[in-house]
Structure 1
Amino acid sequence: MRKLVRGPLLAAAILAGIAGIPLGYAFAQASSPNEIVGVWEAENGSLKFEIFDAGGIYAGRMIFGDRMVEADGKTFKKDTLNPDPKLRSRSLKGIVFVNNLKWDAADRRWEGGSLYDGSSGRTYSGRATLVNGKLELRGYVGTPVLGQTMLMRRVQ
């Protein structure tokens, strides 16, 4: 006989499902702001970046992105789609594409940030959550429900 889940756990799961939020957000595990600092890589290897403390807020610097490099897999593309014409000649290598993530102690996640996608020239709102040692980096337009989450693993 299966045991039914009751109480706060069931309520959180139902609310997460209704809101379209990955269940991990309901059970965030980060307990301090600096837990996000380090080098992270997408589980499929398509993206690698370093998160660093930028004076009380957190930012991320590009190390590798398969959509950011030329066909040789090594040479970084130029930022040709950037809305700022002055930045279109810069290399995407090492750009700071995650900006202004602020620690929210109540929700135990980093919020209020922005994510720049050099492959499209678009900037999205962003937030990050640590769940079971993995980083859930969510980019969205308007509301987090209208977004996409990348699951990252720590490599350093």
Structure 2
Amino acid sequence: MTTRSALFAAALLAALAPAAALAQSAPGPQGTWLTQAGDAKVRIKSCGPALCGTIIWLKQPIDPNTGKPQVDDKNPDPARASRPVIGLQIFGDMRPVSQGKWSGHIYNADDGKTYEANLSHTGPTSLHVEGCVGSLCGGENWTFEGR
């Protein structure tokens, strides 16, 4: 490599470094989100290359029928039906598919089923969460609560 090409390479790397750092530090959906119905908060964090989401708060944490903390009683697996809803990881495999969008699976404790899902970070305080069965999809918007 000639001195001239070495200088050019160094200058190119110096010019591109801030852009690469900005892309890596671009804000994502990591933080705490309130569901559209306002009945749960989900903390989203990075789990390696994926995103994980865990229920950390329920508007009604106590089951009115039992007087005990809400459990995952709709889960068809009897071994999982008694686990607490607070602390339940509802997704852990959301992988980036494009800028501001992730795809994977989401567990719905309301019916005990897992769905194909998409997350779209639509703004600094808005996250669109979509679950799909085949080509039929339904979604809701979650509101940012904080980091």
TM-score, structure 2 normalization: 0.70
Give the share of equivalent positions with the same residue, in percent.
22
Post-superposition shift, 1:150?
1.3
Post-superposition shift, 1:43?
4.1
Amino acid at match of 2:130: R
More deviation in 37-46 or 128-137?
37-46
Q: Which has the larger radius of gyration?
A: 2
Q: Flag the 1:141–1:96 CA change in 2: closer, same or farther, 3 A.
A: same
Is the aligned partner of 1:124 residue 2:115? yes
Aligned to 2:137: 147
Q: Aligned-pair RMSD on alpha carbons?
A: 2.5
Aligned to 1:110: 102
Amino acid at match of 2:133: V
Aligned to 2:74: 81
Q: Flag the 1:110–1:68 CA change in 2: closer, same or farther, 3 A.
A: farther
Q: Structure 2: where are the runs of 5+ without partners?
A: 1-22
Whichever structure has more strand as a proportion of its residues is 2
Give the Cα separation in 1 of the matches to 2:48 and 2:100.
19
Post-superposition shift, 1:108?
3.7
Aligned length: 121
Q: Flag the 1:45–1:63 CA change in 2: closer, same or farther, 3 A.
A: same
Give the Cα separation in 1 of the matches to 2:129 and 2:80.
25
TM-score, structure 1 normalization: 0.67
- 1:129·1:135 contact (CA, 8 Å) conserved in 2? yes
Aligned to 2:17: none
Aligned to 2:5: none
Q: Flag the 1:131–1:88 CA change in 2: closer, same or farther, 3 A.
A: same
Is the partner of 2:134 in helix, strand or coil? coil
